[in-house]
Amino acid sequence: MKEFSSVLVLISYAYLVDSSPSPSSSSLSSSDTTHVRPPFPVVKITFDHVSNVFGICLWILLGILAKIVFHLSHRLTKKFPENCLLIILGIIVGVLLYITHLEEEKRIYILNSDIFFLFLLPPIVLETGYFLPKRAFFDNLGTILLLAVLNKLFNTMCIGLTIWAFGKTTLYGGTQFDLLECLLFASFITAVDPIAVLATFVEIRVNDTLYIVVFGESLLNDAVTIVLYRMFESFLTIGQDNLIPMDFFLGFVSFFVVTIGGIVIGIIFGFMAVFMTKFTERTPVLEPLVVFIYAYIAYIIAEMTGLSGILAITICGMMMKQYVEYNITKKSMATIEYVLKMASSIMETIIFMFMGLTTVSEQQTWNTGFVIVTLLSCLIYRAIGVALFANLANIRRLVELTRIDMLIMSYGGLRGALAFALALVLDENLAPRRKEFITASTVVVLFTVFIQGTTLGPLVKLLNVRRKQIEEPTMSATLTNRMMDHVMTCLEDVAGIAGANSLRNKYNKFDHNYMKKWLLREQPQEKLDLRLWQTFRNIDLQTAIKLHEEVPGAKQITTSQLPKSQTLLAVVNPSTTNSRKASIISTILTKPDDIIIIPPTNNEVVSLTKPEDIKNFLDANMFDTHRRASIYVRGQDEIEKDEDLDPTIIHILQPSAIIDSPNYMLEQSTDNLPRQRKNRSDSTATNQLPSNDIDKCRF
């Protein structure tokens, strides 16, 4: 039934596609040259001016269909990862197009590098940047940089030289390769692909460190790839004999220009986007668009100026995520997240389908020796490089990477559409062996995605690699983590080292003193913390119900302790607080606006009359550090879990419950606050919150 529906839709489309481009008998576009009297056109078919858009729509539709069908049949997706199935589908479509001789129309359907870089890549990278677990990323930044930069350079040089050296033998059937050409090829065949890594690692759910190291590497090596690719391209343009040392120096300089330029553009546009959302109070529907358009412009400007667009849009997304949620409405926030997931999901689907299609449609030259040498050197040097630089990274790491980690890291270095797209862009004048390169890239990409991608999951299971923790860390773990941060910062201060912890401390101060003041509509403290209040409210209600459910005799005692007069506002009996000594907060949370506090008789008792005061009090006493962020895992099921909190229920439920132990209140609030702050600092955690999270707060 389900398959039938999709087949039905496909057939109806195929019919439409087939019939539309053919010049219908009734169509006639004002051909005044013929002397035959043109008939009156009842129906006028014009395909040309919509063919591009129509083609894109059909691809999107095919992508949606494919995803739906794959997800419906569990048997398929259990055996093969989704991206493999999509590549196979692309190959089938390619073969069909070839058989039906639609080659002339085909040109708009193949993976064009402009389409890839302008439309398909940005949404995916923006989504990953937006949902990037910042803490984990920055904690592992050293390792990531080692892998993304040095390992990448090492790999490029080794692979390039190896391929070139084997070219001197007869292994390639006499085909000669230029050294620069080989290095150019190596520069993109070593590019670990963020899309392939994401698609594979998300399904496997390895632990946070492993995931962020491989994924961070794939994000950051884009800059290095671009620099190396463009450098070798320029060297080829200049000609091997004309090269002077200055060129190498400029190539070295351009690495920093591309990287730092990309980061700066990302920060500037992120800043502008957040700043703009400061003023969207009266135009909330436009808020998601502000986020999307600034991120996209950052990407385009970076691409236009030859800087790293991937870095720019990643940084821009991270920056916006950090601040934008304080300014915009909850609905806008939800829409941004949903649309990002939607766009990246469909773009990913299309990329993999395109890859399959291009494999068939692009002209290729098969060279067995060359393909084998490329594939083997990719695998071997990846393993060597990862082992080398991971061990180097271990010198400075607190939690060392184990050998199994390294194995997974090297095995998980999947190549994907990025390498493929760069191979397609190659200029045949510069690289006469372009067709061999495309074939080799295809083989490497398919090998990594199919063989490595499908076996990575079983391998992780076999080696018993620590998986991602699904459940929330306990309260005590969170507190311990935060305390450890303090201790580390303190130790660094004492030792006089400017380590990661004191840097983070400094950034937090800067963030609080300047960034938030410039960028946010209102300071975050003043913003009402709905989840916190709702939890309190629920506790109140439960208390009321519990009291009510108890045996009437017991209840009578409880209620008799209270003054009888209040109906809407509940108060705490001063006599109980009176008898205690200090630091006991006695608030009854009725509504944010009308909290009633009984002024304590002795000054030692802390009085907190407003929500902000409570938060400030807790902030002051607990100091501001961040919990270790958990990894964001992309997946559709999580969207459902992220249930909104409904502010209306605060209004619905009458404020009339009584907490008779003030101590209990304080406990509850400290328990809730870090939870809440965590949700603020990275909503990745929010995504993983099980929907009945608040249930845990029950007592």
Q: The tokens 């501001």 sit on which residue?
A: 624
Q: The tokens 């080292």 sit on which residue?
A: 497
Task: Quote the least distance from Cβ 532 to its own copies, whole Å.
Answer: 14
What is d(CA 510, CA 512) in angstroms, rounded to the nearest whole number?
5
Among 110, 145, 171, 342, binds its own copies (CB under 8 A): 342
Task: Quote the least distance from Cβ 47 to its own copies, whole Å.
Answer: 6
Site size toward its own copies (CB under 8 A) is 126
Query: Per rule CB under 8 A, is residue 279 in the interface with its own copies?
Result: yes
List residues bridging with 312 in a β-sheet.
Answer: none
Task: Quote the least distance from Cβ 23 to its own copies, whole Å.
Answer: 13
Question: Closest CB to its own copies among 6 and 207?
Answer: 6
Among 22, 176, 559, 602, binds its own copies (CB under 8 A): 559
Query: Per rule CB under 8 A, is residue 593 in the interface with its own copies?
Result: no
H or E element at residue 588: strand 587-588
Query: Per rule CB under 8 A, is residue 656 in the interface with its own copies?
Result: yes
Write the secondary structure of 334-373 as one string of H (helix), E (strand) and C (coil): HHHHHHHHHHHHHHHHHHHHHHHHHHHHCCCCCCHHHHHH
Among 161, 165, 339, 380, binds its own copies (CB under 8 A): 339
| Touching its own copies, residues 487-546 (CB under 8 A) | 538, 541-542, 544-546
Question: Closest CB to its own copies among 379 and 430?
Answer: 430
Question: Closest CB to its own copies among 68 and 528?
Answer: 68
| Touching its own copies, residues 53-72 (CB under 8 A) | 53-54, 57-58, 60-61, 64-65, 67-68, 71-72
| Touching its own copies, residues 156-175 (CB under 8 A) | none
Question: Closest CB to its own copies among 219 and 328?
Answer: 328
By the 10 Å C-beta count (0-12 exposed, 13-18 middle, 19+ buried), 108 is classed as middle
Query: Per rule CB under 8 A, is residue 345 in the interface with its own copies?
Result: yes
Q: The tokens 């961070």 sit on which residue?
A: 216
Write the secondary structure of 445-487 as one string of H (helix), E (strand) and C (coil): HHHHHHHHHHHHHHHHHHCCCCECCCCCCCHHHHHHHHHHHHH
Query: Per rule CB under 8 A, is residue 250 in the interface with its own copies?
Result: yes
Question: Reduced to 3 states, what is the DSSP secondary structure of residue 94?
Answer: helix
Query: Per rule CB under 8 A, is residue 594 in the interface with its own copies?
Result: no
- Give yes or no for a contact between 220 and 145, defined as CB atoms under 8 angstroms apart: yes
Among 305, 576, 668, 681, binds its own copies (CB under 8 A): 305
Query: Per rule CB under 8 A, is residue 181 in the interface with its own copies?
Result: no
Task: Quote the least distance from Cβ 345 to its own copies, whole Å.
Answer: 5
Taking residues 621 to 640 in sequence order and writing x for each that binds its own copies by CB under 8 A, - otherwise, the string is ---------------x--xx
Query: Per rule CB under 8 A, is residue 280 in the interface with its own copies?
Result: yes
**Which region, judged by CB under 8 A, interacts with its own copies, from 30-38, 214-222, 451-459, 672-680?**
30-38
H or E element at residue 55: helix 51-72
CA angle 639/192/234 to nearest 5° reads: 130
Among 33, 35, 42, 599, binds its own copies (CB under 8 A): 42
Using N-to-C axis directions, what is the helix angle for 287-304 and 309-327, rounded to 10°? 160
Task: Say which DSSP state 452 is in.
Answer: I
Question: Closest CB to its own copies among 71 and 107?
Answer: 71
Among 84, 124, 132, 297, binds its own copies (CB under 8 A): 297
What is d(CA 366, CA 164) in angstroms, rounded to the nearest whole number?
17
| Touching its own copies, residues 660-689 (CB under 8 A) | none
How many helices (H) and strands (E) are present in the chain, helices listed first? 33, 2
**CA atoms in the 13 A half-sphere facing the CB of 672:** 26
φ/ψ of residue 278, rounded to 5 = -60, -25
Q: What length does the chain have? A: 699
Choose among 17, 18, 15, 86: nearest CA to 54.
17
| Touching its own copies, residues 226-245 (CB under 8 A) | 230-231, 234, 237-238, 242
- Give yes or no for a contact between 324 and 680, defined as CB atoms under 8 angstroms apart: no
What is d(CA 195, CA 414) in angstroms, rounded to the nearest whole number?
9
Task: Quote the least distance from Cβ 104 to its own copies, whole Å.
Answer: 18
Taking residues 401 to 430 in sequence order and writing x for each that binds its own copies by CB under 8 A, - otherwise, the string is --------------------------x-xx
